[in-house]
Structure 1
Amino acid sequence: MKFNLKQLGIGLILILTMTFSSCKKYLDEKNKSDFVKTGYFQNASQARTFVNGIYTSLYFFQNGDAYGESPFITIELFAGHATSLGQSVNNGNVINQRTDAVNPGFETVWRGSYNAIAQTNLALEQIPTVSMTDADRNKLLGEVYFLRAFFYYHLVRLYGDVPLITKPVSVNDPDLYPSRNPVASIYDLIIADLTAAQASGLPATDQTGKVSLGAVNTLLASVYLTTAGFPLNKTENYAKAAATAELVLPSYTLFDNYAFLHDNAHKNQGELIFQSQYLVGVRDNAIPQLTVPFNLPVGAYGDHLGAMMPTNQFVASYETGDLRTQERQFYFSSYPQFGDPSKTVIFGSHALYKYFHVESATGNGISDENWTFLRLPEAMLIYAEATNEVNGPTPQAYQQVNFIRTRAKLPALSGLTKDQFREAIWKERYHELAYEDKAYFDIQRTHKIYNVINNTFGDATSTPNEQGVTMKAQYYLWPIPQREINTNKNLTQNTGW
């Protein structure tokens, strides 16, 4: 059920596009209809349900279509280490750096993020007026502060200067057609929101899909690491990134089986810090269909889209003996044919086993695997990288990287210079967090790209990737969606678009 007062400008902000369809892990009571701002926040139960509804905004990152387009794929294709075997013209244009501001993926992320931010702004305004215990109110506000920061963090990295909206907007409000605010001011709000969430009394971990203190600290550590690089270059934030990431490490444990990253039994557990929740019969997704080989009978899916396929060169860039590259670990190149498992389907290339969902592939083809936004190895590698920038390779920094390498059956790192250790950590980020929408953001903050052919890092705008494409400088940011430019005369376009 959606309630739209008016749909203008940024999607927007407006007065609210409220969606009350959700996974049962989010919603504890029946959806309310006939929502009005003045009458909904009357008790703690209503406030809880409203916040549960905000979580459903996370789904747009995995929304896909029959051509294999989805924001989580678009973000990854910008990094240059994936191909698309499906029918999407837009995916091909991104890979070959000839896309433009009318690419629908750009609008999906912009509009979806600002609709979610509109909901968080209303929640932050109304929840303080609701009768409930102080502890419950503070925790609820902590979740909302995290979610607003989460969506703004995606906006500022993808689009640069963006409108900064921190209160509900009415049809007569000047913020209905806002101008763009500087990147630094967006990050100030993100850090302030996450700092407020830190102090809100959230639990250290959460296995129901809601925000935890671990999620807050992991995201804040990522923000500090990002702001230490381009475009702000606030190098003093490396120390803050290390200290914040260190807070996360005692609360989570690495899985001893990579299959647990994408099965149903281990959702929200172990190393999984923050996920988008899916459940058959409530909300499903096309993640496995989008990432299995194109038009090959691998699983019970109606579509096999091949929309995001790792390049063979990237898979070959892992060290010899790396467990992650062995069959059915992070990748796979063959699988029993659906309907006749006595036959084996040979792909002719690698596909992402990291997102293969055995339950749906061997069942009815309906996927409810969770999408992971944050997990422990990212916090470990943030800690190691940021610590190295401040103090060089410390024993503690080595320890965190080597935990990840030991699981991958690789020898421990030792005896490296600061510069060598920095690149070793960057490679580990590429290899451990592969195809998790981290690589493009690493390119943005470092202005370096991983040259998998030579196993080195080069300048992002002069080093061809394994597909022979050299990144254009304009690709450090996405364009402001053309529909928004056309609607709001106060918006300007990013350079080159």
Structure 2
Amino acid sequence: MKTINKKLLILCTAALLIADSGCKKSFLDSDQLSSYSPANLDNPTAMKAALNGIALVLRKEYFGDSAPMLTESIFSDVAVEGTTDKSTPAQDLVTRITPDANLNSDDFNKVGWYWDNSFIAIRQANSVISNIDKPKYSSDAEKNAILGSAYFFRAYYYYRLVHQFGDVPLQLKDLDAPRTDFYSTKREVILAKMKTDLEFAQTWVTDNVNKGEVTKGAVSHLLTKVDLALGKFDEAITAATSVINGSKYGLMTARFGSTASDATKNVVWDLHRMDNKAISSNREALFLVIDREAFQGFTPNGSQLMRNTVPAWHFANLKTPYGGTAITDAVTAEIPLTRMYGRGIGRYRGTPYSTQYIWTDHTDYRHAKGMWMDMTDLVYNNPALKTSKIEAERNLYGKPLVQYDASNIKQMFTNGSLDTIRHWFGWPHYKVFINSTNALANDPYWTPPRGTNTDWYVFRLAETYLLRAEAYYWKGNLELAMSDINAVRSRANAQLYTDASKINIGTILDERARELYWEEPRKTELTRIAYIFALTGKSAYNGKSYTMAAFSDNNFFYDRIIEKNDFYKNQVPTLQGVKYRIAPYHVLWPIPASAQRFNTGGHINQNKGYSGYESNVPALDKIE
């Protein structure tokens, strides 16, 4: 495989001009629609620049403060919004997630970000597709590979949109004039078209491309998801198998890369190091977003993953059992915890399900000491403790934090048990630790470190195995499903499953939660699975069956979350008195009201449970 494209920075600069044209307005705003002319797409280099511009949009989903991936996670079983010092975040989803609410803000949620940016990316893909015949190519293969890559990006974003918002407008051509007459198209019609496009792309896109570009493996991986969503389980198995059995890819089971000589770590640590993700010896990466120091102009805040996902252990709210301040975040501290683990603010608050309940196997690398961090793995490092008037408190310095219980919780937290939401939970250190090594490391903004530039997995072969396991499950072939799950577990040194009769969709979702932290869009995948249960009528492990007719009222998405997410199940209150709540209709997000207002000549349907649903018209059931 080629090395990372040295021209990528130049290409992305050109493409960024395209992306920025639509960042400040709704997709359906006529001014935004008329702001970009594709006249310059007259050569293959320009076409590739446009494709790299779409990759910029994709990169932003994972990176930055309050990254959009956080919103995907909190509409699920694995996490809730942990920012408890304000009342604006999406915690009570019933009141916060409405068509007219603020749907694109670091302090609220990023539902609207997905709507706006998905259509921006689709429009860029359509610009390439509609103008594919303009350039002069070296061969049909070059032309079709570019076209296939554009098909991939369009399919990627439509796959996400239909599992976030349901029926949405289907736009397959570039716009040469403003449009205000969009109508919703049925989800299954959109998916069927995306399947056809991906099958074309599968033929022409190759794996011999620069890191960060679309690969054949990524196309087949996405095709697997689309086939699953359409209930075409045999075809999903075929698509996944083409990746798994291809000579190009394989699970990384032996030590590799820059950290291979560190005897205190393991292959899972190697897999998730920032400088190992895009190297040629890493055979597990199907599709990456590339984020390097040279790209600071495009991702000025870096990943900020440590800031988003690590608990706010540094706040003065965290005390010793005797009431003294437990920890300092000073980078010059004798025990510099911020340099060792990052300085978090607990936005992504893992649930007990994802941080405790699924980790019963103590041999699993992903939850081993030094890989996974619990609060009791941190130590008291506040130098003031050394001179405390309380002898027992003086003896705490340098020792592990004491686990809170009923006898000491009032002393350890300023606001009692409510402070544990943000300040006390476990996290996958091996996944989120991104050392600040770039030029901004000494800038006050980056001190203490919050996570900096890093490449990131979008698709990885471990997920392909779990997708094929899911397809086998839907077909009732539990032995083969168990085998694919065990392939992932074996690499993690986890105990293997031996009783296939106990394999169900919950088993697969548990393994996805262990393996795909901050990689999978959990809400999207839960909604896709909920659709499959409703389409097939297959009984879930909870004994229930579901229908499309009652999809927004009774669905697997909601039942799974209420079963596993203790915050939503128990309507736990925050410091602001806001209770965590979710409803069955959150299986689909609201269509932003602004999108409907600008669409004066058509009608974009609203999802059930939200204001405006009563005015819906039949969605289009064919491609016009």
Question: TM-score when scaled to structure 2?
Answer: 0.66
Aligned to 1:324: 366
Q: Distance in 2 between matches of 1:391 and 1:289?
A: 42
Determine which of 273, 281, 301 is the counterpart of 1:263: 273
- Residues 1:367 and 1:487: Cα distance change in structure 2 (over 3 Å): same
Q: In structure 1, what is the equivalent of residue 172 of structure 2?
A: 166
**2:160 equivalent to 1:150:** no
Q: Residues of 1 paired with 2:304 and 2:57: CA distance?
A: 16
Residue 353, structure 1, aligned to residue 429, structure 2:
yes
CA apart distance, 1:354: 4.6
CA distance in 1 between counterparts of 2:137 and 2:522 reads: 42
Structure 1 position 307 matched with structure 2 position 347: yes
Residue from 110, 113, 120 that aligns with 1:108: 113
Q: Quick one: which amino acid aligns to residue 91 of structure 1?
A: P
Match runs of 1:189-200 below 5 Å: 189-200=193-204
Aligned counterparts of 2:171 and 2:530: Cα–Cα separation in 1: 29
Give 3-state SS (helix, strand or coil) of 1:374's partner: strand
The amino acid across from 1:214 in the alignment is G
- In structure 2, relative to structure 1, the CA distance for the partners of 1:314 and 1:49 (3 Å cut) is closer
Note if 1:213 corresponds to 2:216. Answer: yes
* Cα drift, residue 118 of structure 1: 0.8
Question: Cα distance, 1:176 vs. partner?
Answer: 3.6
Task: Indicate conservation of the 8 Å contact 1:14/1:168, yes or no.
Answer: no
1:204 alignment partner, SS class: coil
Could you tell me how far apart the structure 2 residues matched to 1:367 and 1:339 are? Answer: 26
Change (3 A) 1:152 1:11: farther
Once residues 17 and 355 of structure 1 are traced to their aligned partners in structure 2, the CA distance between those partners, rounded to angstroms, is 40
Q: Within 2, Cα distance between the matches of 1:345 and 1:281? A: 39
CA distance in 2, matches of 1:344, 1:95: 40
SS of structure 1 residue aligned to 2:55? helix
Match of 1:493 in 2: 606
| Number of positions where the alignment pairs a residue of Structure 1 with one of Structure 2 | 455
In 2: Cα distance, 1:98 partner to 1:111 partner: 19
Q: Which residue of 1 aligns with 2:136?
A: 131
Q: What secondary structure is seen at the aligned counterpart in 2 of 1:128?
A: coil
**Letter in structure 2 aligned against 1:486:** R
Cα deviation, residue 355, structure 1: 3.7
Q: Structure 1 residues 75, 11: closer, same or farther in 2, change over 3 A?
A: farther
Check 1:339–1:484 CA distance in 2 against 1; reply closer, same or farther (3 A cut): farther
- Listed as ranges, the matches of 1:327-342 within 5 Å are 327-333=369-375, 334=377
Q: Give, as a single letter, the amino acid of the residue that structure 1 aligns with 2:586.
A: Y
- One-letter amino acid of the structure 1 residue matched with residue 194 of structure 2: I
Q: C-alpha deviations, 1:447-475, integer Å up to 9, x for none?
A: 39xxxxxxx75754454432243741211
Q: 1:377 to 1:90 in 2, by over 3 A?
A: farther
Deviates more, 1:355-364 or 1:320-329: 355-364
Contact 1:74 1:94 in 2 (8 A): no
The letter for the 1-side match of 2:589 is W
For residues 3-51 of structure 1, what are the alpha-carbon distances to aligned partners after superposition, in whole Å with 9 as ceiling and x for unaligned?
Answer: 6499565357954767xxxxxxxxxxxxxxxxx422x123222222222
2 CA distance for matches of 1:91 and 1:63? 18
- Distance in 1 of aligned mates of 2:518 and 2:212: 22
User: Residue in 2 aligned with 1:33?
Assistant: none
Q: Please identify, of 482-491 and 373-382, the stretch whose mean Cα deviation from structure 2 is larger.
A: 482-491
Match of 1:48 in 2: 48
> Which structure has the larger Rg?
2
Q: Secondary structure at the match of 2:458?
A: strand
CA distance in structure 1 between the aligned counterparts of 2:588 and 2:284, rounded to whole angstroms: 30
Tell me if the contact between 2:269 and 2:371 (Cα under 8 Å) persists in the aligned partners.
Answer: yes
Shift of 1:71: 1.4
**In structure 1, C-alpha distance between the alignment counterparts of 2:141 and 2:79, rounded to whole Å:** 46
Residue aligning to 2:89: 91
Distance 1:271 1:279 in 2: 20
Give the distance between the partners of 2:31 and 2:483, measured in 1 at CA. 45
**What is the TM-score normalised by the length of structure 1?**
0.81
Q: How big is the shift at 1:212?
A: 0.5
Please list the CA deviations of residues 223-247 of structure 1 after superposition, one character each: whole Å capped at 9, or x if unmatched: 112222xxxxxxxx01111111011
Root-mean-square deviation (Å): 3.3
Q: Is the Cα–Cα contact under 8 Å of residues 106 and 480 in structure 1 kept in the other structure?
A: no
Contact 2:365 2:371 in 1 (8 A): yes
Residue of structure 1 equivalent to 2:594:
483
Q: 2:523 matched to 1:412?
A: no
Other structure's SS at 2:459 match: strand
Partner of 2:486: 402
Relative to structure 1, the CA distance from residue 89 to residue 377 in structure 2 (aligned partners, 3 Å threshold; closer, same or farther) is farther
Which segments of 5 or more consecutive residues in structure 2 lack a partner in the other structure? 1-15, 105-109, 254-266, 315-328, 330-336, 384-396, 402-422, 443-448, 532-540, 544-555, 570-580, 611-624
More displaced 10-residue stretch of structure 1: 348-357 or 139-148: 348-357
**1:183 Cα shift?**
0.8
With over 3 angstroms needed to count, the CA separation of the structure-2 counterparts of 1:420 and 1:9, relative to structure 1, is closer
Out of 437, 440, 464, the position equivalent to 1:379 is 464
Identity of aligned residues (%): 23
CA contact (8 A) 2:313 2:424 kept: no
Structure 1 residue aligned with 2:290: 277
SS of equivalent residue, structure 2 residue 425: strand
Report the secondary structure of 2:293's partner residue: coil
* Structure 1: gaps spanning 5 or more residues: 19-35, 229-236, 449-455
Contact kept in structure 1, 2:277 and 2:457, CA below 8 Å: no
* Bigger proportion of residues as strand: 1
CA distance in structure 1 between the aligned counterparts of 2:62 and 2:35, rounded to whole angstroms: 19
Residues 461 and 473, structure 1, Cα contact 8 Å, conserved in 2: yes
Q: Which amino acid aligns with 1:299?
A: T
Contact between 2:201 and 2:219, CA under 8 Å: does it hold in 1?
A: yes
Q: 1:224 aligns with which of 227, 237, 262?
A: 227
Q: How far apart are 1:479 and its partner, in Å?
A: 0.6
Q: Give me the whole-angstrom Cα distance separating, in 1, the residues matched to 2:305 and 2:76.
A: 19
- The more displaced of 276-285 and 472-481 is 276-285
The equivalent position to 1:294 in structure 2, one of 305, 308, 312, is: 312
Change (3 A) 1:481 1:461: same
User: Could you say if the C-alpha distance between residues 425 and 51 of structure 1 is closer, same or farther in structure 2, counting changes exceeding 3 Å?
Assistant: closer
SS at match of 1:160: coil
- Counterpart selection for 2:566 from 466, 469, 473: 466
